[in-house]
Amino acid sequence: MIPFPHDLIDILFSISRRLLYAPAALSALTMSLQSDVTIDASKFHPDAIPASAHALNNHLMEIMKNGPKWYEVFRSLIPLPIYPKQP
């Protein structure tokens, strides 16, 4: 016999109540708030970046100053839609 929707809802509610109030289920559903990833903020301080990296960055910006912009290149890759002429 196929359960009616209200029977199915009762079954789902009873399962969810068991999961929420069972201590073992609660410990299985919780996650630790401590991350495995650690970031050392001092690495991003301007004093930590070597002068050669600043020089390279300035050189690349100078090269790209007169080059195509990303939004111009991106727009050229997308064909314009062709709409029929309106009467």
What is the mean pLDDT, run by run of 10 residues, along the chain of 87 residues? 63 70 59 80 89 94 86 72 66
- How big is the CA angle at 56 (ends 52 and 61), to the nearest 5 degrees? 150
Residue 74, domain member (yes or no): yes
Whether 6 maps to a domain, the answer reads no
pLDDT value at residue 73? 77
Count of structural domains, the chain: 1
Name the residue type at position 38. Answer: T
Report the distance separating Cα 40 and Cα 45, nearest Å: 10
According to the model, what pLDDT value does residue 52 have?
94
2 within a domain of the structure (yes/no)? no
In a domain, 44, yes or no: no
What local confidence, expressed as pLDDT, does residue 25 receive?
Answer: 54
In a domain, 30, yes or no: no
